Amino acid sequence: MSIIKGASSGISDITTGWEVRGVAGRESFETRSAIIRNAVAYIVILTACGLIIWFAIAIGTAFQSPAALTNTLEPQRIAAAHITNSVHNNLRSPLGILLTQIVVIALAARMLSHFASKLRQPRVVGEMVAGILLGPSFLGLLSPATMGS
pLDDT tens for 77-110 read 556 677 777 778 878 888 888 888 899 999 999 9
Q: Check residues 29 and 10 and name the one with the higher pLDDT.
A: 29
38-43 contact pairs (CB < 8 A, 24+): none
pLDDT at residue 124 is higher than 90: yes
Asked if 95 and 77 count as a contact pair (C-beta separation under 8 A), the reply is: no
β-bridge mates for residue 12, sequence order: 19
From 14-23, 31-40, 118-127, the region with the lowest mean pLDDT? 14-23
pLDDT-based confidence at 30, cuts 50/70/90?
confident
No. of helices (H) and no. of strands (E), the chain: 6, 0
Q: Which of 103, 100, 65, 99 is nearest to 85 (CA)?
A: 65
Q: Which of 56, 58, 59, 79 is nearest to 69 (CA)?
A: 79
Q: Is the Cα torsion angle 107, 112, 117, 121 positive or negative in sign?
A: negative
Burial (Cβ within 10 Å: 0-12, 13-18, ≥19) of residue 80: exposed
**Which residues have C-beta within 8 Å of that of residue 96, sequence separation ≥ 6?**
90
